[in-house]
A = this chain, B = another copy of it.
Amino acid sequence: MKICQVEKPLVATNRIPGLEHRHLQVVRDGRSMAVAVDAVGCTPGDWVICVGSSAAREAAGHKDYPSDLTIVGIIDHWEGEE
């Protein structure tokens, strides 16, 4: 899993039905950005754990969900080191 920081919510009105109404967050992983499905309810600035691969799907709700990156936890204390 990756350690990322939440940047802001992402709005994509035109999307496939499979994404349902789950919230998407822009997350920062070092120098690069990605989009993750929010499964825990986080806010900008939070340091979170993001899971990828096929595990991102069940973590987002069910095994058919089309996610390859899902926020699965908020880290209690993180110093942004690295």
A54, B63: Cα distance in complex, Å? 10
A82, B33: Cα distance in complex, Å? 7
From B12, B55, B70, give the contact of A49 (CB < 8 A): B12
Tell me how far the C-beta of A56 lies from the nearest C-beta in chain B, rounded to whole angstroms.
Answer: 7
Q: Which of A1-21 contact B (CB under 8 A)?
A: 1-3, 10-16, 18-19
Listed residue (A10, A36, A40, A55) with the most chain B CB atoms within 10 angstroms of its CB: A55
Q: Please determine whether A57 and B54 come into contact, CB atoms closer than 8 angstroms.
A: yes
Q: Please determine whether A36 and B67 come into contact, CB atoms closer than 8 angstroms.
A: no
Q: Please determine whether B34 and A3 come into contact, CB atoms closer than 8 angstroms.
A: yes
Q: Please determine whether B49 and A1 come into contact, CB atoms closer than 8 angstroms.
A: no
